[in-house]
Amino acid sequence: MQIGIGAETGTRAKPARAKAQRELFREQQQWLRDRATEAAAQVQSKGGSLAALEYSGAFSDFTKKRIAELRRRMSHHNSKPQ
């Protein structure tokens, strides 16, 4: 899946776009690690099915927040004059 970085044109825009894509990829990889850690930190129960439910709920919440953040960034980026 590719997230819209923009539709720049020209020879100088291509390296900038590739750099932005690499940075976004690294950011996303770090976010994936952080999401698992943060979701685990939200678990209050000491085992059983409730702990799994708490983890999956936190995991889902973090994911929804990330999706909203990426949508805002894409919207902001796509609204810039090219």
pTM of the model: 0.70
Query: 5 in a domain, yes or no?
Result: no
Query: 34 in a domain, yes or no?
Result: yes
Query: 17 in a domain, yes or no?
Result: yes
Alpha carbons 2 and 26: distance in angstroms, whole number = 13
Which residue is listed with tokens 């044109």?
A: 9
Quote the domain boundaries for residue 37.
13-77
pLDDT of 3-56, one tens digit each?
A: 454 444 555 668 888 998 999 999 999 999 999 999 999 999 988 899 999 999
Query: 46 in a domain, yes or no?
Result: yes
Total number of domains constituting the chain: 1
Q: Which residues contact 24 (CB under 8 A, 6 or more apart)?
A: 3, 5
pLDDT the model gives residue 5 = 47
Is the model's pLDDT at 63 over the cut of 90?
yes
